[in-house]
């Protein structure tokens, strides 16, 4: 649900009504000490209480880890939730009327919130129904499957709220609609029943299946996975997309794993429900599972909220399907891994086993699994090993093919030191133990990669460091390009008022927007202050001061962009050639937009069957080609501006 911007009156009312002791005491055991309360800090491990809550100030503070804030920031930090999400939850709890800055959206917001609450209630009721059904005589096969084949203890079955969907066509339908009086439309919207293709009526989506509830990060049921107990296909059936459930944005067991991910500073991603359940049952609780979809950028960013060192381990099956899934996941998050925003490793278990099989096959499986996690190779080492798998490098064609694939990987590495390491590593692998060939292979790789090793001393200031060097990155590094280009435009707007209209005009012509959410938020605040800005003079420009005042209203959002309000020496130099910088930055934004459009067209083109939809396939190919042409043209614009800036800096 896209939440409209909340009215400040709603936020203020929530802050006034949400008593901080009331909110925090639900999650922390607090003891009265004088006027304040103390307890063990939930944000770091400690044995002696250093966490203090002040009812008079409505603030908390930890003297151990320096965490602090109000009831809203407490819930945001503890649950890694958004500001609006927390405020809306507290508004519902303390019966605060919700208002937005757009009056026409209030009714729609209230309708959506009401629907979501009703769907949560229906799904919670359904989870209890399935859980109860698992204890009935007709669920004998399901219980046998859990205890004999999966070897799950009763406490694990209870922990994951496992259940059983009876075999009847309308059992759940009759229970929810006829017995409990739930609205038919909402039961269908929850993804629990399906309209019959012929005639009137509905039938249960899940029938004679073992049921695995899927929860959001707050532990609320949002969908179900159902495993067939016989030969029925598909073997696993998930809930459809609903207002609550988006499998492309959901990770199974994240609600149970998030604390362990934070404590162990590492997240493990497996493929299946029962791999995750088995690992949790074995005491390895920093584990989540994808839901039949490739690990996406959104999934990874969810996990990165909980691990400071950004460590994620992919433990997919070691068979061909699992290897392909791992490669798809890496491809999906390429900008994140190449830019170092995630420290990704890949674990393939011995003998091609999945995690559940591995634990069952080894008496000390949990301990061995932990050891394998520690030694799991970095994703790039794993990909290189995949290139070499079953390849005879003594054959010229195989050698050339492997070398070319290595070059493709090496070209995308951004960090100079890392690229140096892997060029040498690949050169040694291609030499197959012949030390005489190592230098030759390294030189050949260097020539093809086209980027020199950065192990030479820096030149003196007469050959200056390139300004805003990220704008010279290849188009494959979209995340870093966007971050650098958008930040440059915003810095110029904030610190050089005379160029503000130029930036507005440059954004309007190609219809560009700020793509990164924190930059888009800042831009929205700037536009709202436009009248004040027009009445000011550059010498007495109030923009930054006015924006900083908004930190009281939007503390979390403004904290993400506060660094833009200040300039260090390098940043001043970066924006000093302002018209050229604007031109280069706008070209970057256009390039990234074209790259996204090109990727989308290629994906659609690959999906279409030419025998059924040749015209659409041709259209997508033409759009792909046009986007590719535009990217190349924009590359020329970007490089030309970049070269001019470097030349001017050298003068």
How large is the average pLDDT for residues 489-500? 87
Which domain-ending residue is among 186, 221, 245?
245
Q: Provide the CATH number for the domain around residue 149.
A: 3.90.980.10
Q: Quick one: pLDDT band at residue 58, thresholds 50, 70, 90?
A: confident
- Note whether 133 and 278 are same-domain residues: no
- Note whether 346 and 224 are same-domain residues: no
Per DSSP, the residues of 507-571 read HHTTT----SHHHHHHHHHHHHTHHHHHTS-GGG--HHHHHHHTTTTSHHHHHTTGGGG---HHH
Is position 129 within any domain?
A: yes
- 201-257 pLDDT, tens digit per residue, is 999 999 999 999 999 988 899 999 999 998 888 999 999 999 899 888 899 999 999
Q: Report the chain's C-alpha Rg in angstroms.
A: 28
Q: Quick one: pLDDT band at residue 503, thresholds 50, 70, 90?
A: confident
How large is the average pLDDT for residues 355-380? 93
Does pLDDT of 176 surpass 90? yes
Range in 78-82, 112-116, 340-344, 457-461 with the lowest mean pLDDT: 457-461
| DSSP secondary structure letter of residue 206 | -
Confidence (pLDDT) at 419: 87
Is position 454 within any domain?
A: no
Give the C-alpha distances (Å, rounded to integers) separating 484 from 331, 502, 650.
22, 19, 22
Is position 462 within any domain?
A: no
Q: Quick one: pLDDT band at residue 648, thresholds 50, 70, 90?
A: low
Of residues 281 and 555, more confidence is placed in: 281
Q: Provide the CATH number for the domain around residue 66.
A: 3.90.580.10
In sequence order, which residues have a C-beta less than 8 Å from that of residue 157 and are 6 or more positions away? 134, 146
Q: Quick one: pLDDT band at residue 3, thresholds 50, 70, 90?
A: low
Is position 3 within any domain?
A: no
Q: Which residues pair with 236 in a beta bridge?
A: 227
- Note whether 592 and 565 are same-domain residues: yes
Mean pLDDT, the chain, integer: 83
Of residues 573 and 36, more confidence is placed in: 36
Q: Quick one: pLDDT band at residue 646, thresholds 50, 70, 90?
A: low
Which domain-ending residue is among 340, 363, 384?
384
- Note whether 533 and 637 are same-domain residues: yes
- Note whether 238 and 260 are same-domain residues: no
When divided into structural domains, the chain yields a total of 5
Q: Provide the CATH number for the domain around residue 332.
A: 3.40.1360.10
Confidence (pLDDT) at 614: 83
Q: Which residues pair with 357 in a beta bridge?
A: none
- 259-288 pLDDT, tens digit per residue, is 899 889 999 999 889 999 999 999 999 999
Is position 116 within any domain?
A: yes
Which domain-ending residue is among 197, 217, 245?
245
* 8 Å CB contact between 113 and 88: yes
Does pLDDT of 571 surpass 60? yes
Strands ordered across the beta sheet of 221-228: 163-165, 209-215, 221-228, 236-238
Does pLDDT of 173 surpass 60? yes
On the CB side of 485, CA atoms within 13 Å amount to 33
Confidence (pLDDT) at 104: 66
- Note whether 489 and 619 are same-domain residues: yes
- Note whether 90 and 232 are same-domain residues: no
Of residues 477 and 390, more confidence is placed in: 390
The torsion angles phi and psi of 336, rounded to 5 degrees, stand at: -70, -45
- Note whether 230 and 254 are same-domain residues: no
Per DSSP, the residues of 390-439 read T--TTSHHHHHHHHHHHHHHHHT---HHHHHHHHHHHHHHHHTT-GGGHH
Does pLDDT of 476 surpass 60? no
- Note whether 585 and 536 are same-domain residues: yes
- 433-458 pLDDT, tens digit per residue, is 888 888 888 988 988 886 444 443 33
Confidence (pLDDT) at 106: 64
Confidence (pLDDT) at 642: 66
Does pLDDT of 464 surpass 50? no
**Crossing angle, helix 396-411 and helix 438-449, to 10 degrees?**
50
* 8 Å CB contact between 61 and 67: yes
How large is the average pLDDT for residues 593-610? 83
Confidence (pLDDT) at 304: 83
Confidence (pLDDT) at 537: 43
d(CA 469, CA 453): 17
- Note whether 619 and 490 are same-domain residues: yes
Is position 464 within any domain?
A: no
Confidence (pLDDT) at 516: 82
- Note whether 489 and 512 are same-domain residues: yes
- Note whether 94 and 46 are same-domain residues: yes
The torsion angles phi and psi of 127, rounded to 5 degrees, stand at: -60, -40
* Structural domain harbouring 413: 390-449
Q: Quick one: pLDDT band at residue 563, thresholds 50, 70, 90?
A: confident
Is position 233 within any domain?
A: yes
d(CA 51, CA 32): 12
Tokens describing residue 597: 């459009």
Is position 125 within any domain?
A: yes
d(CA 47, CA 514): 45
Give the C-alpha distances (Å, rounded to integers) separating 382 from 300, 386, 428, 549.
19, 6, 16, 49
């Amino acid at each position: 649900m896209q939440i409209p911007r909340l009215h400040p009156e709603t936020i203020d009312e929530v802050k006034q009504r949400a008593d901080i002791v009331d909110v925090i005491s639900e999650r922390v055991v607090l003891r009265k000490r004088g006027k304040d309360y103390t307890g063990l800090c939930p944000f770091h491990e400690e044995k002696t209480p250093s966490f203090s809550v002040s009812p008079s100030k409505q603030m908390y503070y930890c003297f151990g880890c320096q965490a602090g804030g109000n009831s809203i920031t407490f819930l945001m930090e503890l649950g890694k939730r958004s500001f609006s999400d927390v405020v809306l939850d507290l508004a519902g709890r303390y019966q605060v009327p919700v208002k937005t800055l757009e009056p026409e959206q209030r009714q729609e917001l209230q309708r959506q919130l009401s629907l979501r609450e009703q769907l949560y209630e229906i799904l919670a009721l359904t989870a209890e129904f399935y859980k109860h059904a698992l204890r009935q005589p007709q669920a004998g096969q399901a219980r046998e499957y859990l205890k004999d084949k999966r070897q799950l203890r009763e406490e694990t079955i209870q922990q994951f709220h496992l259940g059983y969907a009876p075999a009847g066509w309308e059992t759940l339908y009759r229970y929810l609609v006829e017995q409990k009086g739930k609205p038919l439309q909402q039961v269908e919207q929850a993804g629990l029943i399906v309209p019959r293709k012929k005639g009137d009526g509905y039938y249960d989506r899940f029938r004679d299946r073992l049921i695995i509830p899927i929860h959001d990060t707050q532990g609320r049921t949002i969908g179900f996975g159902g495993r067939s107990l016989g030969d029925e296909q598909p073997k696993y059936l998930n809930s459809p997309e609903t207002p609550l459930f988006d499998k492309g944005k959901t990770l199974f067991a994240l609600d149970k794993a998030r604390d362990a991910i934070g404590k162990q500073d590492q997240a493990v991603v497996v493929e299946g429900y029962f791999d995750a359940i088995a690992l949790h049952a074995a005491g390895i609780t920093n584990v989540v599972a994808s839901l039949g979809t490739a690990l996406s950028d959104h999934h990874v960013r969810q996990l990165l909220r909980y691990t400071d060192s950004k460590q994620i381990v992919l433990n997919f099956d070691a068979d061909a399907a699992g290897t392909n899934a791992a490669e798809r996941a890496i491809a999906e998050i390429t900008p994140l891994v190449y830019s170092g925003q995630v420290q990704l490793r890949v674990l393939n278990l011995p003998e091609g086993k999945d995690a559940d099989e591995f634990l069952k096959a080894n008496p000390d499986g949990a301990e061995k699994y932990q050891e394998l996690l520690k030694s799991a190779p970095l994703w790039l080492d794993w990909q290189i090993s995949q290139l070499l798998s079953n390849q005879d490098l003594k054959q010229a064609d195989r050698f050339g093919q492997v070398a070319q694939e290595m070059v493709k990987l090496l070209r995308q590495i951004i960090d100079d030191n890392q690229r140096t390491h892997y060029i040498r590593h690949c050169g040694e692998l291609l030499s197959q133990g012949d030390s005489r060939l190592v230098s030759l292979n390294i030189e050949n790789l260097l020539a093809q990669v086209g980027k020199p090793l950065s192990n030479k001393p820096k030149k003196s200031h007469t050959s200056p460091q390139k300004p805003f060097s990220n704008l010279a990155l290849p188009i494959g590094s979209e995340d870093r390009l966007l971050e650098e280009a958008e930040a440059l435009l915003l810095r110029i707007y904030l610190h050089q008022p005379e160029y503000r209209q130029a930036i507005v005009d440059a954004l309007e012509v190609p219809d560009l927007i700020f793509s990164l959410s924190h930059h888009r938020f800042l831009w929205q605040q700037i536009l709202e202050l436009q009248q004040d800005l027009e009445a000011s003079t550059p010498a007495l420009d109030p923009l930054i001061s006015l924006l900083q005042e908004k930190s009281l209203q939007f503390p979390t959002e403004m904290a993400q962009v506060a660094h833009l309000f200040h300039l260090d020496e390098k940043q001043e130099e970066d924006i000093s050639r302002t018209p050229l910088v604007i031109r280069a930055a706008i070209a970057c934004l256009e390039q990234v937009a074209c790259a996204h459009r090109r990727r989308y067209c290629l994906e659609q083109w690959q999906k279409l069957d030419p025998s059924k939809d040749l015209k659409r396939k041709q259209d997508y190919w033409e759009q792909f080609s046009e986007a590719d042409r535009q990217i190349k043209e924009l590359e020329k614009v970007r490089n030309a501006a970049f070269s001019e800036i470097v030349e001017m800096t050298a003068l």
